[in-house]
Structure 1
Amino acid sequence: MNKVSVMKEIDEVTDIYCTECLVIRDLRKTRGKSGAHRFCIEQCTVGEQLQFLGEELLKVLDE
């Protein structure tokens, strides 16, 4: 993978799954922005995929 392809994939994932996510909207109302963000990082499968892609991006940048 190269830098551009990883970044495009991150953009695609966020555009498809995160932009209009009903769960995040509800959590922002009930838990606040940081609580909703915490959910995305710790429990959301899309968040897990984004973390993986972020790690891949770091690997590419280190090369």
Structure 2
Amino acid sequence: MTRTKILAEVETLLNTYCNGCFLKKHHRQEHGKRAAHRFCINECTVGEKIKKCGQKL
């Protein structure tokens, strides 16, 4: 895959699943911004897909 296709895939994932995510909002209110970000990267299935796309870059 080319770099632009990978970035477009990441953008699609973010727009589809991450914008308005209830879990991210909940973790941010309860535990703070860092904890919410850590949750999204390490535990969320969409975050894992985004990490895989990042490794391709």
TM-score if structure 1 supplies the norm length? 0.88
Structure 2 gaps, min length 5:
none
Give the CA RMSD over aligned residues.
Answer: 0.5
Instruction: Return structure 1 stretches of 4+ with deviation > 4 angstroms.
Output: none
Identical amino acids, percent of aligned pairs: 37
Larger radius of gyration between Structure 1 and Structure 2: 1
Which one has more relative contact order, counting CA pairs under 8 Å at least 6 apart?
1
Structure 1 gaps, min length 5:
58-63
How many equivalent residue pairs?
Answer: 57
TM-score if structure 2 supplies the norm length? 0.96
